[in-house]
Amino acid sequence: MVAELKELRALTGDDNGAQRVAFTKTWLAARAWLRKKLEALPAEIHTDAAGNTWTTLRGASERALLIGGHIDSVPNGGWLDGCLNVLAGVEILRRINGQYAGQPPVTVRLVDWADEEGARFGKSLFGSSACSGNLNVDEARGLKDKDGIRLPDALKEIGVDLERAKECGKELKHAGAYLELHIEQGPVLLDLDLPLGAVLGTFGVERHAVTFRGQAAHSGSTPMNRRKDALLAAAKMSLEIYPIAARHGGVCTIGSCTTKPGIVTSVVEECRITLDQRHLDARALARMLAEARAAADRFAGEGKVSVSWERLWQIEPVLFNPDLIGFCDDAIGETCGKSHRLPSGPLHDAAEVARAGVPTVMMFVQSLHGISHNKIEDTREEHLELCVTAFDKLAEKTMRWMEK
Ligand SMILES: [Zn+2]
């Protein structure tokens, strides 16, 4: 697997990193390369209505163990994000095929999801959300890339009809479980000095714009006690999100702040900030939001300004299957001694599959520097070897579980 990852890097990367952006020539070259590897197996290969590629090793039972990943990358991306999952899956198909002489107890399927990253059209999880049924086709129809090319036209180029993309949902018909390996993309396992972790689920997200409105006034003639300073309330908010996050164990970010009139000689009349809050527990996320609203009201009152909220985006937390999380812990324990359970901050295709009702779990492998979506993204080679070994054990345990 490590050798194949390097082969893929040489084929589809350059000095700036991986260039396998979905629906581009390099992405198609990566997929053709992958297909050659898969054709060596006695497996059926097809691409579904949304452009996801499925490789199926028929088993004694129709019930299917799904292993997923995405070979697409962001522009100037890392060498492991997404393709590690796919190539680990290829390795596991080979092992299962060899061990069971081409007929495993359950059907085993590898899926390469189309456009996980959403790098070109700004909307991630295209293939997996089409499959789960959560894709908003009306919204997708209007998406354009930076050259003005529409998503439906880019899809047509690769033989996908957006209007029919959701028909790929039938691929999940016999799904008994879904497994996905991924680099952590953060520093948690690195800081704990652990190679692998079992993922509990993906964070729910509440994303809002919060606008404080006061009054513009001359910066020279207005005494400090007579000001209605919108920025002052927003600044207090930026401090307050730290205790709110600390109380509940989630994360909160104020990622942008714009002021009007935004000139050096005026008190700020209007200040708009964005607040992104994430938690694995829906009730805790709701409490973080409620506390942020209460704090905003308090600071607005103290500063004699008004405040209004606008929801920008929201998604509920997705919890993975407890039995599979247990197997993932066991597989990690057997491979390298100590496991750790952690939530995923980023969204993944696995979240869509779980939302479709398929028992799901992910395994994370440590990321050096805690960094991803960057050419410096890396993982120690011995950790890559550990992760494919542990992931293979997880696949075997899951097959046993599905047989029952
Ligand atoms: Zn990824």
Residue 100 is given by DSSP the state T
The rounded Å distance from CA 76 to ligand 1 centre is 14
The rounded Å distance from CA 69 to ligand 1 centre is 7
Residue 336, pLDDT score: 95
The rounded Å distance from CA 373 to ligand 1 centre is 9
| CB-based contact 327:397 (threshold 8 Å) | yes
Q: Edge-to-edge strands of the sheet including 204-213?
A: 251-260, 270-279, 204-213, 306-315
Residue 250, pLDDT score: 94
- pLDDT tens figures, 138-178: 999 999 999 999 999 999 999 999 999 999 999 999 999 99
Convert 298-327 to b/e letters by CB count within 10 Å (16 or more is b).
ebbeebebbbeeeeeeebebbbbbeebbeb
The rounded Å distance from CA 85 to ligand 1 centre is 8
Query: Which of 174, 87, 179 lies closest to 398 in space, CA to CA?
Result: 179
- Please list the residues that pair with 258 across neighbouring strands: 272
The rounded Å distance from CA 144 to ligand 1 centre is 22
Q: Which residues of the chain have pLDDT under 70?
A: none
The rounded Å distance from CA 82 to ligand 1 centre is 4
Predicted TM-score (pTM) of this structure: 0.90
DSSP 3-state of 352:
helix
Residue 404, pLDDT score: 80
Query: Which protein residues have a CB closer than 5 Å to ligand 1 (ion)?
Result: 81-82
- pLDDT tens figures, 204-214: 999 999 999 99
Residue 370, pLDDT score: 83
The rounded Å distance from CA 285 to ligand 1 centre is 24
The rounded Å distance from CA 70 to ligand 1 centre is 7
The rounded Å distance from CA 393 to ligand 1 centre is 22
Query: Which of 373, 324, 322, 323 lies closest to 345 in space, CA to CA?
Result: 373
Residue 122, pLDDT score: 85
